Structure 1
Amino acid sequence: MVATPARVLVDSPQVVAVRAEDESGSFGILRGHADFLTVLAPCVLRWHGADNVQHFCAVEEGVLRVSGGKSITIACRDGVLGDTLNTLEAQIRAVRARRLDVLRQVRVEQTRMHARAVRQLLRYLRPGNAPGDAGFDGRRDGENVS
């Protein structure tokens, strides 16, 4: 099983072999593997079932756990599934482009909010605009002109 905080990407009990990568390098896991726990580097997971069809999933770091020689679970920040390496690469590029666009939009909004806050501070700090200060016409806030 491969899961992110938001969803389960893969849940297949028929996996025969898995290939992944951690800090020490690439490794493979077959049925009957000893219990194992490792922190994954950003990598492309590869696995196949009894039908020998390859499956791929790009993961952004994560934790891989083998238990009981037959259960492999992977918890990762995010992942992208692909049928082939070429389609996976295209999907990753699209995901990265969307993320960059969102980050740009966030930066623009942060800049707008910062500029708005600075303008309000400057208005407040101008002589005569602070509460209790005499205004441009010499009146204090709340005084009526008679």
Structure 2
Amino acid sequence: MKLRIITPLSVPVEEVGIVSVRAEDESGGFGILQGAADLLTSLVPTVVSWKRQDGTQHYCAVRHGELTVSNRGDKVDIATREAVPGADLATLGTLVQEHFREKEDLGKNANVASVGLQLAAIRLIAGRLRPDGHGMVQ
């Protein structure tokens, strides 16, 4: 089975040789094995887990998404806005916390830049509207 988890900007997980996949939607947790019926479902925030043929288990935290099973369970695709892969649950928790901290910092920086642009626009408009006529476009 092939598993692919994609975000708008990257493909954090793309693996072949997968034996099983587990995820969670509104109805609860479920598993997918080779030969499963085609399926389309909306995921809730969940940890997707999968087992490789060598028996190792891997994980990826996703924040909502659409899971598609096709080709009689041979292909599982998950499209999500955010995905944080990890080798085990202990490190995954840490990685998710770091991801959200980075995202929060980026959001703060974007807000500061946005306010700066708004202030620059206000200054430009105010300068063009001065009653003494200086700065007005003619």
| TM bucket, shorter chain | 0.7 to 0.9
- Distance across 1 between alignment mates of 2:127 and 2:14: 58
The answer for unaligned runs of 5 or more in structure 2 is none
What is the Cα deviation at residue 52 of structure 1?
1.9
The yes-or-no answer on 1:120 pairing with 2:124 is yes
- Distance across 1 between alignment mates of 2:33 and 2:102: 36
What is the Cα deviation at residue 109 of structure 1?
1.1
The answer for unaligned runs of 5 or more in structure 1 is 133-140, 142-146
What is the Cα deviation at residue 96 of structure 1?
0.9
**Structure having greater relative contact order (Cα 8 Å, sep ≥ 6):** 2
Q: Is the 8 A contact 2:8 2:81 kept in 1?
A: yes
- Distance across 2 between alignment mates of 1:116 and 1:57: 42
- Distance across 2 between alignment mates of 1:9 and 1:111: 33
> What is the CA RMSD across the aligned residues, in angstroms?
1.8
For 1:19-73, what per-residue CA distance to the aligned partner results, in whole angstroms no more than 9, with x for missing partners?
1011222111122211111111221101102222110001122211112132212
Residue 36 of structure 1 corresponds to: 39
Q: Runs of at least 4 residues of structure 1 off by over 4 A?
A: none
Q: Is the 8 A contact 2:41 2:66 kept in 1?
A: yes
The 5 Å alignment of 1:33-112 reads 33-67=36-70, 68-112=72-116
Going by fraction, where is strand more abundant, 1 or 2? 2
| TM-score where L is the length of structure 2 | 0.85
- Distance across 2 between alignment mates of 1:109 and 1:4: 25
Q: Is the 8 A contact 2:65 2:81 kept in 1?
A: yes
Q: Is the 8 A contact 1:123 1:129 kept in 2?
A: no
Q: Which moved more, 1:35-44 or 1:120-129?
A: 120-129
Residue 20 of structure 1 corresponds to: 23
| TM-score where L is the length of structure 1 | 0.81
For 1:83-131, what per-residue CA distance to the aligned partner results, in whole angstroms no more than 9, with x for missing partners?
1111111111111111111111111111111112222222222211254
What is the identity percentage for the equivalent residue pairs of Structure 1 and Structure 2?
A: 39
- Equivalenced residue count is 133
Task: Name the SS of the counterpart of 2:115 in structure 1.
Answer: helix
The residue type equivalent to 1:107 in the other structure is N
